[in-house]
Structure 1
Amino acid sequence: MKKNIAVVAADGRVARKVITEAMGRGWDVTAFGRRDHNSGDAQTYVKRDIFDLTAEDLAGFDAVVDAFGAHTPETLPLHSTTLKHLLDLLSGTDVRLVVVGGAGSLYVDHEHKVQLYQTPDFPDAFKPTALAQVKTLDEIRGRDDVRWTFISPAGDFQADGERTGSYILGGEELTLNGRGESTISYADFALGLVDEIESGDHIRQRISFVRK
């Protein structure tokens, strides 16, 4: 049966890669964005701010992909408020919510006491965004009324990297490949995300991807 998904905040580069990946598998994709015109490959585009979305807008989809991102001090709180809005809309439904997260919240120790953003080499410029995404992960963990999955990329998330067609599936901890690297392209991240929607293996879990 053909999958039917919605991508929210669909104008961003990660979102467009997810749309392209899903479209390549023959899925029906509805994109919700703030631009006047469709900037991606989705069959259906709806100009709609996240806060204007209703439960009716998201009903009937197999999954909703939350690709929202914010990076300025005044917009960082929107990571939490937009996610809460989507969680509330999907509460008690069978629709999956798949959230594009960040790498800063990945743990670097087996005891899960230290997260990547807390390490000495983590760039100061990225810490505010990492902290905002750490908060959203903490908040989503408390929701057992939504079929959510939170996906973190590798530490080096490459917008223009190639699609290799393979990746390593990780969990809560920062995963390195056989070359000691933590890197993945947007395209391979999208590949893993769509695989996860198809498999449905990690409900109410955080997972991560790294390039093989």
Structure 2
Amino acid sequence: MRVLLFGASGNIGSTITHELITRGHHVTGVTRTGNTTTTTGNYTARAGDVRDARTVAALAEGHDLVVSAIGPRHGGNDDDRDIIVGATAALISGLRLTDITRLVVLGGAGSLLTAPGVRVIDSPHFPEMWKANASAQNEALEMYRQVSDLDWTFVSPPKLIEPGERTGAYRKGGDELLTDANGDSKISIPDFAIGFADEVERGSAIRARISLAY
């Protein structure tokens, strides 16, 4: 497949890019500057603002589906809502200007349920530094849930996602937070990328949110 991927320079986005390339897909990686570290394989680097619908439409031409792994720069001056919600609005509007309907999005964990009606972000222990990001991701998910003319999938990580081993192991869930036998909710970035790429290829969760964890 020919995949247009926004956010190709991030830790998670670059790993998803590499996973897709190793599976034989051609990835066009889009960043704000057009500069990425991926230089080998079936890869093309492009510059573009994912918050602009016409840019999304123009870049999507000739691709089979679109992936978004965008996120604000940590430690920078980015406004979380401007980046996340702005990108969501532009991706929806931009794809409606094309013949492409498939969209797979890297979402957040804050809206996952820990009990009926109780989200991760509702915990008094939820880190303050992540609240703006989680709130924006929650808003983005609700925007997607109003969309019935695109085949979107919103992929949430667990509470903890960090560099680590590529084991090939992961579990797939829905709106509930996945935890392991010790009560931990985590996954390595490489294993998350495997699950994400599997969903890109299979398209088994259309107009739905899924979650991936050990």
Q: Is the pair's TM-score, using the shorter chain for normalization, greater than 0.5?
A: yes
SS of equivalent residue, structure 2 residue 148: coil
Letter in 1 for 2:91: L
TM-score normalised per structure 1 = 0.90
TM-score normalised per structure 2 = 0.89
Q: How far off is 1:74 after superposition?
A: 5.2
Q: How does 1:9-158 map to 2 (within 5 A)?
A: 9-41=7-39, 43-50=43-50, 51=52, 53-70=55-72, 75-78=79-82, 79-91=84-96, 93-109=99-115, 111=116, 113-158=117-162
Q: Take 1:14 and 1:49, find their aligned partners in 2: how far apart are those partners?
A: 18
Change (3 A) 1:16 1:205: same
SS of equivalent residue, structure 1 residue 77: helix
**2:191 alignment partner in structure 1:** 188
Q: How far off is 1:73 after superposition?
A: 7.2
Q: Take 1:12 and 1:61, find their aligned partners in 2: how far apart are those partners?
A: 21
How many residues align structurally? 206
Q: Take 2:34 and 2:16, find their aligned partners in 1: how far apart are those partners?
A: 20
Sequence identity (%): 35
Q: Take 2:181 and 2:35, find their aligned partners in 1: how far apart are those partners?
A: 42
Q: Are the equivalent residues in 2 in contact too, given 1:168–1:177 (CA < 8 A)? A: no
Letter in 2 for 1:43: Y
Q: Take 1:60 and 1:183, find their aligned partners in 2: how far apart are those partners?
A: 36
Letter in 1 for 2:159: G
Letter in 1 for 2:70: F
Q: Are the equivalent residues in 2 in contact too, given 1:94–1:147 (CA < 8 A)? A: no
Letter in 2 for 1:29: V
Q: Are the equivalent residues in 1 in contact too, given 2:5–2:27 (CA < 8 A)? A: yes
Q: How far off is 1:205 after superposition?
A: 0.2
Q: How far off is 1:172 after superposition?
A: 0.3
Q: How far off is 1:38 after superposition?
A: 3.0
Q: How far off is 1:68 after superposition?
A: 1.0
Q: Are the equivalent residues in 2 in contact too, given 1:5–1:27 (CA < 8 A)? A: yes
Q: Are the equivalent residues in 1 in contact too, given 2:88–2:143 (CA < 8 A)? A: no
Letter in 1 for 2:90: H
Deviating beyond 3 angstroms after TM superposition, the runs of 4 or more aligned structure 1 residues are 71-74, 92-95
Q: Are the equivalent residues in 2 in contact too, given 1:61–1:95 (CA < 8 A)? A: no
Q: Which deviates further from its counterpart, 96-105 or 49-58?
A: 49-58
Q: How far off is 1:140 after superposition?
A: 1.1
In structure 1, runs of 5+ residues without a counterpart are none
Q: Are the equivalent residues in 1 in contact too, given 2:157–2:192 (CA < 8 A)? A: yes
**1:208 alignment partner in structure 2:** 211
Computed over aligned residues only, the root mean square deviation of the Cα atoms, in angstroms, reads 1.8
